[in-house]
Structure 1
Amino acid sequence: MSAARGTDSVRLDGKVAIVTGAGRGLGRAYAIAMAEAGAAVVVNDLDGETAESTAEEIRTAGGRAATVVAAVGTSKTAQELVDTAVNEFGRLDVLVANAGALRDRVLWKMSDEDFDLVISSHLRGAFTCGRAAAVTMREQKEGGRIILIGSPAGQFGSFGQTNYSAAKAGLVAMSRTWSLELARAEIAVNTVIPTALSPMTATIPAYAKVYEDYLRGEPIPVEYRRDHALGTPEDVAPLVVWLASDAAADVTGQALGLGGDRLTVYSHPDVLHTQNHDGGWSPALIDEAWHSGLDAHAQRSGPRGSEQDS
């Protein structure tokens, strides 16, 4: 197991973490990096083989790991994860709610089942796991960390991802609410917005070749790492380790992104402009106000640098 970059002076010794969806990709990178930093890790995945592979890599390197093979979303799974942490390692300090499914379709082709599965795995899964974790952390009276995993889709929207975008936007709003509710218990809650090369990234024509080159072992070009914030799953993991650590005890209610060489702080929604009209507004007055200056404050969908800009 390779040394995690940036974690040598930020440690998680003595801490116990749950990472959902940790069998592969980003979740696996988070679990391994946290173990490298000293945490005991409960590895969760729907695929038992990949979950055990992650846990075995941690153990082989001298770390401590347990596995829970189950789909997130139900209260039963959430409680099993928390119980495993407490029974195997004595406590729970960190939850990383990463698991979720994808069912991409444009709106008019998306089925109820497509929508419900993605909402259940990402949003309900984070809710049930977060609730169970919060109960135990509050009972321990020693604080804690809840880290939800968002996406640029939840910040800007994403063509063909009604379900995923809604879930990821909901996670950011949920984490900000929890940061208020759990502040007195010294439980910090944040959302990580990762960007990394993945099979999903490969479906974007502009990134198809760089993903193929990456799979062949070629380095990711600097312009992609910096200008597009695209790197490996391991590039994102240091942010999760830092947020889980004592060094970030006073960081809560934030949406922070990491990908490639770029670290990002995302804004909270804010009021851009207000205008009053004595006696209220009619449709005609709204139209006049819009076209005489309010339209300059309009926000567009899609991230900067997207194909929608061209």
Structure 2
Amino acid sequence: MSAEDLTGRVAVVTGSGRGLGRAYAVALGRAGAAVVVNDVDTDSAEETAELVRAAGGRAAVVVAPVGPAETADRLVATAVSEFGRLDAMIANAGVLRDRVMWKATDEDFDLVVATHLRGSFTCGRAAANHFREAGEGGRIILIGSPAGQFGSFGQTAYAACKAGIVAMARTWSLELARAGVTVNAVIPTAMTEMTGTMPIYQEVYQRFLEGEPLPPVVRREHALGSPEDVAPLIVWLASDASSGITGQAIGLGGDRLTLYAHPAVLETRDADGGWTPDGIRQVWEAELSALAQPSGPTFAPQD
């Protein structure tokens, strides 16, 4: 059972006109899959489709914004009409509108939610309906983020969506188990234009653009490489070799593969008859405060 042979398989990759989505689509094509490429920009989508074909795969293009149910239905219908089947839905499309909470507008919030969260829902639902009717199982791969695992300053909507996406993956893994459909969340980390705007990475990103290899500490401790470094996880999850894997949040970036924990109870205390505010204060100060967990990611030194 090879994790690298997707001959005869058909995948949809939303938001695959550039960046991580393009890397996923090309890697799937290289593994032998046919790919439905999706983006809102026609030129970018067509360019990705040509790269998929050059890698040895087949490709079709759907230019449409992700979020509306009509787009999701069209993506599934295109896979079936062009290639005869659908085996994997990779819901990757997203947008950013980064602002601190008190400066974020309703329009910013709604756009991020519509693309990331609603887009993952409508595409996942359309794929699930097809898989259940076809009766041959399938793969749904949702794309999360460390922001959804830890929180991220200035990314209220994005972090909330990415946390919700992981929760959807776990829920759908339960709902679709009898249909033989696996559902997992990928947590990608890569050195991209967005990452390069972070002060901690501006210098190393510029050197990366100039062709210098990323330092080992960045590839490992920071889990940052190229978008292509993330693609093997998508290929594996789309293959028969991952048939028993579902409901997981799995990260890949640079040299580091990460399995994320499910949220779990950290500690409990009981009080006969219930708690008073002062009782909570006392046990917090004496015992629980030392166990409190910080928000946000931590970064290893680069030198």
Using the size of structure 1 for normalisation, the TM-score is 0.95
Matches within 5 A, 1:57-206: 57-206=51-200
Q: Give the aligned residue type for 1:92.
A: L
Aligned counterpart in structure 2 of residue 232 of structure 1, from 223, 226, 231 = 226
Instruction: Describe the shift of the 1:266–1:116 C-alpha distance in structure 2 as closer, same or farther (beyond 3 A).
Output: same
Q: What is the distance in 2 between the residues matched to 1:265 and 1:182?
A: 22
4+ runs deviating over 6 angstroms: none
Q: What is the distance in 1 between the residues matched to 2:290 and 2:300?
A: 21
Shift of 1:296: 2.2
Q: What is the distance in 2 between the residues matched to 1:134 and 1:284?
A: 50
Aligned counterpart in structure 2 of residue 29 of structure 1, from 14, 19, 23 = 23
Q: Give the aligned residue type for 1:87.
A: S
Matches within 5 A, 1:221-260: 221-260=215-254
Q: What is the distance in 1 between the residues matched to 2:67 and 2:204?
A: 34
Q: Give the aligned residue type for 1:149.
A: I
Q: What is the distance in 1 between the residues matched to 2:197 and 2:235?
A: 29
Q: Secondary structure at the match of 1:200?
A: helix
Q: Secondary structure at the match of 2:177?
A: coil
Aligned counterpart in structure 1 of residue 12 of structure 2, from 18, 33, 48 = 18
Shift of 1:8: 7.6
Q: What is the distance in 1 between the residues matched to 2:3 and 2:100?
A: 45
* Cα offsets for 1:67-109 (capped at 9, x unmatched): 0000000000000000000000011100000001100000110
Alpha-carbon RMSD: 1.4
- Number of residues paired by the alignment? 301
Q: What is the distance in 2 between the residues matched to 1:104 and 1:67?
A: 29
Q: Percent identity?
A: 66
Q: What is the distance in 2 between the residues matched to 1:58 and 1:233?
A: 15
Q: What stretches of structure 2 of length at least 5 have no aligned partner?
A: none
> Residues 257 and 265 of structure 1 are in contact (CA less than 8 Å); yes or no, is this contact kept in structure 2?
yes
> Residues 32 and 56 of structure 2 are in contact (CA less than 8 Å); yes or no, is this contact kept in structure 1?
no
Q: Give the aligned residue type for 1:186.
A: G
Q: What is the distance in 1 between the residues matched to 2:99 and 2:55?
A: 41
Aligned counterpart in structure 1 of residue 275 of structure 2, from 273, 277, 281 = 281
Q: Secondary structure at the match of 1:184?
A: helix
Aligned to 1:4: none
1:214 aligned onto 2:223 = no
Q: Give the aligned residue type for 1:18.
A: V
> Residues 29 and 53 of structure 2 are in contact (CA less than 8 Å); yes or no, is this contact kept in structure 1?
no
Q: Give the aligned residue type for 1:93.
A: D
* Cα offsets for 1:94-152 (capped at 9, x unmatched): 00000011000001100000100001100000000000000001111111000001100
Q: What is the distance in 2 between the residues matched to 1:281 and 1:223?
A: 47
Q: Secondary structure at the match of 1:292?
A: helix
Aligned to 1:3: none
Q: What is the distance in 2 between the residues matched to 1:104 and 1:34?
A: 31
Q: What is the distance in 2 between the residues matched to 1:9 and 1:279?
A: 55
Q: Secondary structure at the match of 2:228?
A: helix
Q: Give the aligned residue type for 2:31.
A: A
> Residues 8 and 37 of structure 1 are in contact (CA less than 8 Å); yes or no, is this contact kept in structure 2?
no
Q: Secondary structure at the match of 1:239?
A: helix
Q: Give the aligned residue type for 1:272.
A: L
Q: What is the distance in 2 between the residues matched to 1:30 and 1:144?
A: 17
> Residues 105 and 160 of structure 1 are in contact (CA less than 8 Å); yes or no, is this contact kept in structure 2?
yes
